[in-house]
Amino acid sequence: MKLITESRTNNNLDGVLLLVNGIEGDVFNPLDGGITFRLPGVWTPDQIGGEYSEFNWNGLNDNGQNIGQGVYYIKISVKDEYGHVQTTIKETTLLRTEEYVRVSIYNSAGELVKRMEEPKAPDTVINLGNMEEVLYVGKDTDILINYGSGAMSWDGKNEFGRNVSSGIYEMQVEIKTGDGYSVVAAKTVTILTEANGSVITDPDNPGAYPKVYPNPVIITDTMDVQAVIEWFAPVDGTVVIRIYNIAGEMVRQFRVQNPAERSLLWNLKGPGGSPVSSGTYVVVVEGLKKSGEREVKPVKMVIIRKFSVDSNNVN
């Protein structure tokens, strides 16, 4: 590198300082801000009135391209108003080191779908054991990619800003530290895209479906009542219905694989055939399209059991 300037004071270059992040030094990393050459007692047309002039080099050549690591000699020449030139050469070492956490997402064909990067690594340990095996994207749902020592959020979109399609993907996490240490780990996951079109709900009336009727369900000892669970439209795929009690325990599950169906009858009994008790239940209706798109909607229902009392048995 050659630095030539015109001096408005003296041309004494004996006191030239090399500064890295404001501290005197001759080894710099361009990613941290470059190196500064301070020329005491030298004014340039752009820097008049101070005690010194400064010039910064960010490790690029004249074409704006990064140059490689190594030792470089900086030639500094000062020319005063009388035409006298004084030259000095300073030695500096460019050490280009990166530190980052990088998440790369590949599809089943090995193509890079998305790459995200954070500038600092919290740790050098990667643990993908807590990452979910099945991830859902779409409808502004972000995915938290937990790699053990930290986490990174992904909006489920590719490099072009579109939601990725359902399928098998590889999540690759790479951590690189400033001293050059690098560690990589990967995990294969299934990604399901949330449905863009209506699967369970009516787009014109989102609160209408799914629905359960009658609701509440009132049962007496002389009635054999069933509940109807209904969704908006037939699904080209599978409908899964899970019924939970107020404690969050699943009491029944159904899988409807006939695309023409849009309702299901439940006899209000558990998997063993015993009637469920009175109380509040949550019916979760999940639509899974063959394309992999998914829509889930819960609806509450109440079951009330009434039994007649035989007055002849009352003491």
Domain chopping of the chain, boundaries: 2-94, 100-193, 211-306
> What HEC string does the chain produce?
CEEEEECCCCCCCCCCEEEECCEECCEECHHHCCEEEEEECCCECCECCCCEEEEEECCECCCCCECCCEEEEEEEEEECCCCCEEEEEEEEEECCCCCEEEEEEEECCCCEEEEEEECCCCCCCECCCCCCCEEEEECCECEEEECECCEEEECCECCCCCECCCEEEEEEEEEECCCCCEEEEEEEEEEEEECCCCCCCECCECCCCCEEECCCEEEECCCCCCEEEECCCCCCEEEEEEEEECCCCEEEEEEECCCCCCEEEECCECCCCCECCCEEEEEEEEEEECCCCEEEEEEEEEEEEECCCCHHHCC
What's the predicted TM-score (pTM) here? 0.44
Per-residue pLDDT tens listing for the chain (315 residues) = 555 454 444 455 778 889 998 899 998 888 778 899 988 877 777 766 678 888 889 888 888 888 888 899 988 888 777 778 888 888 999 887 777 899 999 998 899 999 998 877 667 788 888 888 878 776 666 788 888 878 888 988 888 887 787 788 999 999 887 666 788 999 998 887 765 556 677 777 877 889 999 999 998 876 778 999 999 888 778 899 999 998 888 999 999 988 788 999 999 998 888 889 999 999 999 888 776 677 888 899 999 988 765 544 444
Judge whether 100-193 and 211-306 match in fold.
yes
CATH assignment of 211-306, given 2.60.40.2550, 2.30.29.30, 2.60.40.420, 3.20.20.70? 2.60.40.2550
Determine the CATH number of domain 100-193.
2.60.40.4070
